Amino acid sequence: MSVTDTTPVNRTAVPGPATPYQGDIARYWDHEARPVNLRLGDVDGLYHHHYGIGEVDQAALGAPDDSEREKKLVTELHRLESAQTDVLLDSLGDIRPEHTLVDAGCGRGGSMVMAHQRFGCKVEGVTLSAKQAEFGNRRAKELGIDDSVHAQVRNMLDMPFGTGTVRGSWNNESSMYVDLHDLFAEHSRILSVGGRYVTITGCWNPIYGQPSKWVSQINAHFECNIHSRREYLRAMADNRLVPNAVVDLTAATLPYWELRATVPSLVTGIEEAFINSYKDGSFQYLLIAADRV
Ligand SMILES: C[S@@+](CC[C@H](N)C(=O)[O-])C[C@H]1O[C@@H](n2cnc3c(N)ncnc32)[C@H](O)[C@@H]1O
Ligand SMILES: CC(C)=CCC/C(C)=C/COP(=O)(O)OP(=O)(O)O
Ligand SMILES: [Mg+2]
């Protein structure tokens, strides 16, 4: 095999959803237009569907009676969400412009744009939602990076990339929609040996025992199926993905949630479930980086 990754993209006709569930998820994201996502993305054109990490910059928020305060809150929440992506990208290792990266469950593509801007490489994304893929491709075109950043409607359990052709791949809050053994088998297939896989995810804590009522609420809210930390590590081990970092980001994400819960025009009703489950220890926000061996 060549030491240089090629872009092994198969752009044949889009298959329909592999299961009725995937059809439901495609429809869910096709119709998603929550202000907390669109208003934050409008700050600088990076549209995320994940949560934030890091300390809140109180000085940036302005006084409670500041007429610009809401705008400042939106900007600060968005800064924390982009900081989350930066931490994911930090874990991908030595990525060079000739490499290809894959964003599995790419949403509207904010992480893909950031990855390209950082590494100068090709970034391929897959999502079940045609609306999201169109949105991400439109943004890439507007930025003049559509040669390098590309999204398509595909199932991340059956990705249109050749075996061993990808240097780095990730799931940013998208692994709770699939079986983890199937998912890691597919990442392991597309990654080159020595390549890196990264996930940032919410997972239930086996120390708690079973998924708490808050975790069940989050599952119902998003129509997803949150896995346990144990399942992640076991499914990786079974698929030649060997963790080199497991970072508990729970304490780092709480300030984001506590800030978001104070902004009536942005709350969606799920804030209490995240805050309570992070606090009672039943749920964790985790980064796992693994080497493909
Ligand atoms: C919460 S969003 C995360 C989006 C993105 N990773 C981000 O950080 O902004 C979940 C994404 O997973 C995608 N997804 C869920 N199941 C999928 C599957 N089987 N194949 C491809 N994408 C999937 C959805 O279409 C959606 O884009
Ligand atoms: C950590 C866990 C369990 C995540 C579940 C997946 C998910 C829906 C993430 C955020 O998407 P979003 O940004 O569209 O959600 P919201 O509208 O709440 O900001
Ligand atoms: Mg969001």
What domains does the chain contain, in order, with CATH numbers?
A: 20-292 (3.40.50.150)
Give the ipTM: 0.99
For residue 126 and ligand 1, the question of a CB distance below 6 A is answered with yes
Residues less than 5 Å from ion ligand 3, measured at CB = 37
Structure tokens at 216: 């069940």
State the Cα–Cα distance between residues 111 and 192, nearest whole angstrom. 21
Query: What ligand is nearest to the CA atom of residue 34?
Result: 2
State the Cα–Cα distance between residues 234 and 182, nearest whole angstrom. 12
**Phi, psi of 125, rounded to the nearest 5 degrees:** -120, 150
* Interstrand relation of 122-127 and 100-104 (parallel, antiparallel or unpaired): parallel
Pocket probe for ligand 1: among 177, 186, 201, the residue whose CB has the most ligand atoms within 8 Å is 177
Burial of residue 32, with CB atoms counted within 10 A of its CB: 0-12 exposed, 13-18 middle, 19 or more buried? middle
Length of the chain: 293
Say how many C-beta atoms besides its own lie within 10 A of residue 16's C-beta: 10
State the Cα–Cα distance between residues 133 and 14, nearest whole angstrom. 12
For residue 169 and ligand 1, the question of a CB distance below 6 A is answered with no
| pLDDT tens digits along 121-171 | 999 999 999 999 999 999 999 999 999 999 999 999 999 999 999 999 999
Atom of ligand 2 nearest to the CA of 34: 17
Atom of ligand 1 nearest to the CA of 26: 25
pLDDT band at 2 (very low <50, low <70, confident <90, very high): very low
State the Cα–Cα distance between residues 161 and 272, nearest whole angstrom. 39
The mean pLDDT value for 240-258 works out to 98
Structure tokens at 7: 């872009």
Residue 194 and residue 291 in contact, taking contact as beta carbons nearer than 8 Å: yes
State the Cα–Cα distance between residues 75 and 95, nearest whole angstrom. 29
For residue 201 and ligand 1, the question of a CB distance below 6 A is answered with no
For residue 129 and ligand 1, the question of a CB distance below 6 A is answered with yes
pLDDT band at 12 (very low <50, low <70, confident <90, very high): low
pLDDT band at 13 (very low <50, low <70, confident <90, very high): confident
Q: Which amino acid is at 243?
A: P
> Is pLDDT at 262 greater than 50 in this prediction?
yes
∠ Cα 128 132 138 (to 5°): 135
The pLDDT mean for the chain works out to 96
| pLDDT tens digits along 28-51 | 999 999 999 999 999 999 999 999
For residue 261 and ligand 2, the question of a CB distance below 6 A is answered with no
The pLDDT assigned to 4 comes to 47
The pLDDT assigned to 11 comes to 60
Q: What proportion of the chain, given as a percentage, has pLDDT over 70?
A: 96
Atom of ligand 2 nearest to the CA of 222: 8
Say how many C-beta atoms besides its own lie within 10 A of residue 118's C-beta: 14
pLDDT band at 3 (very low <50, low <70, confident <90, very high): very low
For residue 195 and ligand 1, the question of a CB distance below 6 A is answered with no
The pLDDT assigned to 6 comes to 54
